[in-house]
């Protein structure tokens, strides 16, 4: 019986770690800005080689 309690405790620790990691990931991705480039900006200028 004590083995099951230890296992349950370990599972809860891992769940908490994943929850903290998920919150950090969300915080980082929400602060990052996405760079969007319009199709017109992708046109290359002609140049002499």
* pLDDT, mean of residues 17-38: 76
C-alpha 24/C-alpha 14 separation (Å) is: 15
pLDDT at 1: 72
- 39: pLDDT strictly greater than 90: no
Tell me the pLDDT of the chain averaged across its residues: 78
The tokens describing 14, both together, are: 């891992």
* pLDDT, mean of residues 2-17: 90
Our CA angle for 32, 30, 19, nearest 5°, is 125
Among left, alpha and beta (phi > 0; psi -120 to 50; other), residue 43 is beta
C-alpha 10/C-alpha 8 separation (Å) is: 5
pLDDT range class, residue 9, cuts 50, 70, 90: very high
- 43: pLDDT strictly greater than 80: no
């Amino acid at each position: 019986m004590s083995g099951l309690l230890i296992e349950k405790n370990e599972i809860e620790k891992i769940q908490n770690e994943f929850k903290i990691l998920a919150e950090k990931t969300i915080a980082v991705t929400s602060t990052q800005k996405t760079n969007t480039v319009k199709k017109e900006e992708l046109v290359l200028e002609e140049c002499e080689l």
